[in-house]
Structure 1
Amino acid sequence: MLENLRGIFRKRRRCESDTAPPPPPAKEAEIIPPYPEDIDDETPESNDGFDASWTEEGSFHSPHSDRPFNTSERFVTILDNLDARVEKLRKDALNLQEKKDYLLMSMDLIKSNEMMQNMSEAEREEIILYIQRVSSRLATVELNVRTVRDNSQEDSLSQINVLIDGMIKMGDPVIGRQRCQLYLNACCSSSMDPSGHMDTVHEADVGPIDKKFESVLLGCTLDDQKNIKKRLQALMAYLNKQTVSH
């Protein structure tokens, strides 16, 4: 009888040892690749507030308890982090777009600078060729962060760009500064908050306003209005320096 019991226990141990252990839960790093490091070699935490450990094995536990995440929670956690990184990427790309616009504006200002007219034809041609070379290099940088606009908003933005380009090409820094101030005042007089409510400042508080510019500006998206204001502020800073130098 005792021998029979021993035989049963030995057989059970062999069956248990032959059974494969359950596979470990998948790591996030096995679901998506690790996020590339930033160009300046800063850690993700120092740049965007993310915890670099979100791709590590231990991150598959709920932050509020010791229980493991189920499959759905794991993917939601990954997607939450990806969504936040996408938003940061958009902001970074928009900042780069602003810098590109600044460079384009600077070259337009150089071409329309009145001192160009005081140069000899050979010197002026050399400068123009140099501007063309720099512009060609800048054209190799393509940035496209799409802002959702309807046809009316597209038309409004196009009109704003025409007005600003016309101001830049005036050639007279004093008149250009006056016009820029009118445009900038229009940006400050009427703006829309993120909830969509219009916030209006009385003209006496901001100074004279270009009514045409203001009317067209209000037809632009909120993001476009912010970018237009930044562009005008940079242009005003430049024109102020030009006016002082004269």
Structure 2
Amino acid sequence: MLENLRGIFRKRRRCETDTPPPPPTKESEIIPRYPADIDAETPESNDGFEASWMEAGSVHSPHSDRPFNASERFVTILDNLDARVEKLRKDALNLQEKKDYLLMSMDLIKSNEMMQNMSEAEREEIILYIQRVSSRLGTVELNVRTVRDNSQEDSLSQINALIDNMIKMGDPVIGRQRCQLYLNACCSSSMDPSGHMDTVPEADAGPIDKKFESVLLGCTLDDQKNIKKRLQALMGYLNKQTVSH
């Protein structure tokens, strides 16, 4: 009887020893699965995320010689999330540029000289239509915050005021000339290795607006890039307006 009990006890200990340790924590137990419908346009991003998770899990599998390291697992996940955040910022900035372009287009329509040739009733109808479209556009709120100090905020405000005044000129020829001066000011500066803007005239930059350039150099690098894109879009529109005349 005693020998039978010892045999049963030895078998139980042997089974407990041979039982493999529990598998590492799954991705879904740490962060929720990324909704497929949100990222429908780029489904491969989910595969990349899950692949990085599986790769990290395989390194620390129960059969690996290395001990399980939760810190490295989380670093892998956070690196992937950081890349997603950066992509989200870029997508939001692109949408912000599209919204700014739509706003600029409506401002140009309001200041177009052909509006002055319409009857008062026709002009009022067009203005009301523009207001309706502007109201709908106003329901779209996008806010990608660029870190600026007080001086950079003031510089950006001055730049926006200069561009707005140029748009409201009403004369596409004069507006195009002014826009070209502003755009040349953007192209006449280049970044030095430290990342700061340094005024280095380019051979094909052409005449520039010194006041605009001075204010531009007080803006952040991100703002300078966005200002240049805005002016390029505006120049394309003014070129078409000039040709049509």
Whether TM exceeds 0.5 here: the answer is yes
| Change in CA separation of 1:45 and 1:200 when aligned onto 2, cut-off 3 Å | farther
Quick one: distance in 1 between partners of 2:63 and 2:11? 44
Residue by residue over 1:41-85, the C-alpha shift from the partner in whole angstroms, topping out at 9 and shown as x without a partner, is 234436997566637995665999885751111111111111111
Q: Which runs of 5+ in 2 are unaligned?
A: none
State how far apart, in whole Å, the 1-side matches of 2:12 and 2:81 are.
48
* CA-to-aligned-CA distance 1:65-115 (integer Å, 9 cap, x gap): 885751111111111111111111111111110000000000000000111
Higher mean displacement: 57-66 or 30-39: 57-66
User: Cα–Cα, structure 1 residues 236 and 81, in superposed 2: closer, same or farther, change >3 Å?
Assistant: same
- In the other structure, the counterpart of 1:13 is 13
Say if 1:27 and 1:56, in contact at 8 Å, map to a contact too. Answer: no
Deviation at 1:119, TM superposition (A): 1.0
Q: Deviations over 1:14-39 (max 9, x none)?
A: 984999x7433211121001223365
Question: What is the distance in 1 between the residues matched to 2:27 and 2:65?
Answer: 18
Compared with structure 1, are the counterparts of its residues 153 and 57 closer, same or farther at alpha carbon in structure 2 (3 Å cutoff)?
closer
Moved more, 58-67 or 38-47: 58-67
| Structure 1 Cα separation of the partners of residues 127 and 33 of structure 2 | 46
Q: Does structure 2 conserve the Cα–Cα contact (< 8 Å) formed by 1:37 and 1:43?
A: no
8 Å contact kept, 2:24–2:57:
no
Who is 1:131 aligned against?
130
Does the C-alpha gap of structure 1 residues 17 and 145 become closer, same or farther in structure 2, counting only changes over 3 Å? Answer: same
When the two structures are aligned, how many residues end up with a matched partner? 245
CA RMSD of aligned residues (A): 3.5
Contact 1:156–1:217 under 8 Å retained in 2: yes
Q: Residues 63, 133 of structure 1: CA spacing in aligned structure 2 closer, same or farther, 3 A cutoff?
A: farther
Structure 1: distance between partners of 2:234 and 2:71: 50
Shift of 1:126: 0.8
Q: Distance in 2 between matches of 1:7 and 1:66?
A: 33
Q: Distance in 2 between matches of 1:151 and 1:144?
A: 19
Identity of aligned residues (%): 93
Deviation sequence 1:210-236 (CA, Å, 0-9, x none):
000000000000000000000000000
Structure 2 contact 113–170 (Cα < 8 Å) conserved = yes
SS at match of 1:49: helix
Instruction: Tell me the distance in 1 between the aligned counterparts of 2:61 and 2:195.
Output: 37
Q: CA deviation at 1:203?
A: 6.0
Matches within 5 A, 1:130-209: 130-192=129-191, 195-202=194-201, 204-209=203-208
Post-superposition offset of 1:120: 1.1
Deviations for 1:116-136, whole angstroms, at most 9, x for unmatched residues? 111111111111111101101
- Work out the CA distance in 2 between the residues paired with 1:117 and 1:165: 19
Flag the 1:128–1:94 CA change in 2: closer, same or farther, 3 A.
Answer: same
**119 and 74 in structure 1: CA distance in 2 versus 1, 3 angstrom threshold:** same
> Could you tell me how far 1:172 is from its partner in structure 2?
0.2
Pair 1:15–1:84, CA change in 2 (3 A)? closer
1:33 to 1:128, Cα distance in 2 relative to 1, 3 A: same
Whole-angstrom distance in 1 between the partners of 2:104 and 2:22 = 60
- CA–CA distance in 1 between the matches of 2:201 and 2:18? 83
Instruction: Report which stretch shifted further, 170-179 or 25-34.
Output: 25-34
